[in-house]
């Protein structure tokens, strides 16, 4: 670490998150960016999320009462992937053509070919993320992924699954993401949890928190699949109306998790005021402090966070609220992961 670094000083825009002075070699935790939002079904812009979060992060002070000095174990990031970002723009145009044809009922051979090519591009992105995360895990690093849309963690979770024979996923989201090939896209942001249930047998439990917008087929799958445990926004709200405290509900949630936990955090799990520009905002949801408290309870329980992602942050056109909230939630996830591994 740079001896001249002042943790109490102004955040320096040095290309690293939070202006921290660590290299990849020095840091215990490495952030991998995935600037990709090809198959989003409503608003786009999350491909610009990693850069916006990185830029906003220097406005954050490092002191955190929950995870004091956790940052000193080192948080660094891989180089921004501008090629992936450019490819996302190109393939987003192709995917938009497919989506518009589907919505208009005008599918033809051309759109079928575009769909096939787009699926291939998404598969290549997943493989790229997988290889990058696998390499870092092989070096003994902890890894967090910064999206991008919610399709991007697929490769990261696959890489984590090769390191751990059994783990659970704590899934913060407004949506279940249990659709099969939504709109024909095999690796849609709306299909990430369906794909993980299908392809990652090491994932012994999927605990979904805050979900509130999903179709009948997703609900049926959640009820049928014994690995899925749901704490819907409706159920959480009704429990609180009946007198349950958030602390009591968090105890119930944490009890469902195994000892090794991967956190997948879609920013739209939060109330819309925290993420007005996200791709598919939904009324209801968690406050920032409720989500942060649940993550803290995971750490306090003695469970180990083995990886995480933060996805679906799209930069706000004015006010910077989305990226500022994203930067602060990302810091919570980084510090919680580091503390859970240190036991301190």
- Residue 41's pLDDT band, with cuts at 50, 70 and 90, is confident
- The sheet carrying 228-231 orders its strands as 75-77, 29-34, 142-147, 304-311, 260-266, 167-172, 203-209, 228-231
The reported pLDDT for the residue numbered 328 is 98
| CA dist., res. 225 & res. 219, Å (int) | 10
Of 264, 263, 281, the closest CA to residue 272 belongs to: 281
By mean pLDDT, which of 94-98, 210-214, 288-292 is the weakest? 94-98
- Lowest mean pLDDT: which of 7-11, 147-151, 158-162, 224-228? 7-11
For residue 2, pLDDT beyond 80: no
Q: What is the CATH number of domain 17-342?
A: 3.40.800.10
Confidence of residue 1 (pLDDT cuts 50, 70, 90): low
Residue 75: partners with Cβ closer than 8 Å, 6 or more residues away? 16, 17, 18, 20, 22, 27, 28, 29, 31, 334, 338
């Amino acid at each position: 670490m740079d001896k001249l670094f002042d943790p109490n000083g102004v955040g320096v825009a040095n290309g690293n998150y939070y202006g921290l002075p660590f290299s990849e070699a020095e840091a215990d935790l490495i952030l991998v960016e995935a600037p990709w939002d090809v198959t989003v079904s409503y608003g786009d812009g999350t491909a610009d999320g990693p850069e916006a979060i990185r830029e906003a992060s220097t406005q954050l002070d490092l002191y955190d009462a929950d995870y004091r000095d956790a940052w000193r174990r080192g948080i660094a990031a891989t180089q921004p992937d501008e090629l992936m970002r450019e490819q996302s723009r190109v393939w987003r145009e192709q995917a938009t053509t497919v989506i518009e044809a589907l919505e208009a009922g005008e599918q033809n051979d051309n759109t079928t070919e575009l769909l096939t090519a787009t699926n291939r591009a998404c598969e290549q992105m997943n493989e790229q993320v997988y290889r990058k995360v696998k390499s870092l895990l092989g070096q003994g690093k902890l890894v967090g992924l910064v999206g991008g849309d919610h399709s991007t963690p697929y490769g990261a979770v696959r890489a984590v699954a090769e390191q751990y024979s059994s783990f659970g996923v704590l899934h913060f989201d407004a949506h279940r993401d249990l659709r099969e090939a939504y709109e024909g896209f095999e690796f849609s942001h709306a299909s990430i949890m369906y794909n993980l249930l299908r392809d990652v047998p090491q994932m012994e439990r999927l605990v979904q928190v805050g979900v509130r917008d999903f179709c009948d087929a997703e609900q049926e799958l959640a009820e049928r699949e014994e690995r899925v445990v749901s704490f819907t926004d409706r159920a959480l709200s009704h429990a609180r109306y009946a007198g349950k405290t958030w602390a009591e509900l968090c105890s119930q949630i944490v009890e469902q998790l195994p000892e090794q936990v991967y956190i997948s955090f879609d920013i739209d799990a939060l109330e819309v005021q925290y993420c007005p520009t996200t791709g598919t905002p939904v009324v209801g949801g968690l406050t920032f402090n409720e989500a942060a408290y649940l993550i803290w309870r995971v750490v306090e329980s003695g469970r180990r966070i083995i990886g995480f992602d933060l996805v679906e942050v799209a930069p706000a056109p004015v006010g910077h609220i989305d990226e500022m909230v994203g930067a602060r939630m990302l810091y919570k996830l980084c510090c919680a992961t580091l503390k859970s591994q240190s036991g301190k």
